[in-house]
Chain A
Amino acid sequence: MELTLDMICIPSEDIVARVIEDELVIVPLTAGIGDADDELYTMNETGKAIWLHLDGGTSLRTIVEELTAEFNATSEVIAEDVLGLVAELVQKKIVVVQ
């Protein structure tokens, strides 16, 4: 499935997201998340900034707009990051497309 900015994505119910010492840590809960059952994931700062907007009620396009207002970057650059991150998370089953 190709991701578009009109889609709404939400963190999977099969993960737990925790902030530990300012880092976002994703803990898979059920089998089949990520590449192996014993792995944890963290995100770089860009990923974390985007993740905090993935509330399940907002389209990726709105998230890009919100981030453009918040950060010093063009909406094209931000859109590229949002789609890049979400594609990675969907592939790892950490987020699902609604």
Chain B
Amino acid sequence: MATIVRNNVGSTVREPPIDIQGLNHSFGSSEIRIQVLFDINLTMRRGELTVLLGASGSGKTTLLTLIGCLRRVEEGSVRLLGNELNGASENMLVQSRRSLGFIFQAHNLHESLTAMQNVRMGLEVHGRDATRNWEKSAEHLLTLVGLSDRLHYLPGSLSGGQKQRVAVARALVGNPDIVFADEPTAALDKVSGLQVVNMLKQLGKKRGTTTLMVTHDNRILDLADRIITLDEGRIIGDERPTY
């Protein structure tokens, strides 16, 4: 696999990209404290597309934000690319996020930036690198997601599916080790939803990217390497569909 593994936070290639042991998580303080995740144990393999299923409120997003360094791990262990997140410094979390790609339910593109510039933001975060041409890389990714003719459009003049594809390009352009996607197709019609996920899967396979995706969309389940089901904060299902 032709993967680029950045070692800026000391990740080791051997370890699984995500390794969770005994993870609990609660919201609120003392009296009104509500636990939403219970004893999560989960190890993910490189290059796989894992889908996270579960009823509303079962804790999918919470789990995603914990692994994605967007929320602090308070109890249990989450090892991300070889780094323990429990007790990690803020700086370390910010650093770690640069090895990740995020795709949100809403595209969250910057309205004042063109498609190219939005994608470029996914690159600039790594700092200047003489060996890399920001413009070229951004253009290449946008071409891969089929938007070579929309490079200089502002999000306001792109369709919902096109915007989400720009978001995919932005998430992937930095060659992340792991991509997190939370219902990326929720705002899209069937055709463009499938198109976006297909794209994500193809690019992931090619680059060896590990993908963790929350979705309710049944057709997407067919594309998953692994399906994990959450219920009231506990993992109640873990299967690898065989076709």
**Are the chains A and B members of one assembly?**
no
